[in-house]
Amino acid sequence: MLEFEQLPSGSFRLQTQQVLPVARDELFEFFSDAFQLEAITPPWLNFRVLTPAPIRIESGTLIDYRLRIHGIPLRWQSRISVWEPPLRFVDEQIRGPYRRWYHEHSFESTDQGTICWDRVEYSVPGGRWVERLFVRQDLRKIFAYRQQALSNRFEP
């Protein structure tokens, strides 16, 4: 599942849901390693974690990244604002291409493994038209890639 909606505030929400046949603790441990982001981010973004290893993830942790969007090099810094292992965590953009980026990752155990949710609230320079023409398409591709990468990693 991958859904978009415009919020009354003028910002946008992206929601994804994926069931993976792995225990919640194991999946949360995977996401607790910031360097795993490189493995589940599309190669065309040239995404790299710049913060030196090891990164101790907890509320307040700052993580720096480098990536390219449509060939334009960008720096991104996020802060872990919520850290509740093994249930959820939130990263928020401090510096980067969005006016606002609030990304909640949550994990729920089921008989089939773990339901992994992504809920992203974001706003972009240029508003609705830029979001609709460029950003939404990019996010759809990025999160579809991410879901496929997670399936490849965790499904038999």
Annotated domain spans of the chain: 2-154
Please write the tens of the pLDDT for every residue from 104-124.
999 999 999 999 999 999 999
Using CA atoms, how far residue 108 sits from 23, 31, 33, in Å, is: 9, 14, 19
Q: How far apart are CA 104 and CA 119, in angstroms?
A: 5
Q: How far apart are CA 114 and CA 118, in angstroms?
A: 13
Is the pTM higher than 0.85? The answer reads yes
Other CB atoms within a 10 A radius of the CB of residue 108 amount to 13
Q: How far apart are CA 61 and CA 44, in angstroms?
A: 27
Helix ranges (H only) for the chain are 24-31, 36-40, 127-130, 136-154
- The pLDDT value recorded for residue 149 is 98
Residue that the structure tokens 């225990």 belong to: 23
- The pLDDT value recorded for residue 19 is 98
Q: How far apart are CA 148 and CA 18, in angstroms?
A: 10
Checking if the pLDDT of 156 tops 90, the result is no
Confidence band of 7 (pLDDT split at 50, 70, 90): very high
Question: CATH fold of 2-154, please?
Answer: Alpha-D-Glucose-1,6-Bisphosphate; Chain A, domain 4 (3.30.530)
- The pLDDT value recorded for residue 88 is 98
Confidence band of 95 (pLDDT split at 50, 70, 90): very high
Please write the tens of the pLDDT for every residue from 30-58.
999 999 999 999 999 999 999 999 999 99
Helix ranges (H only) for 35-126 are 36-40
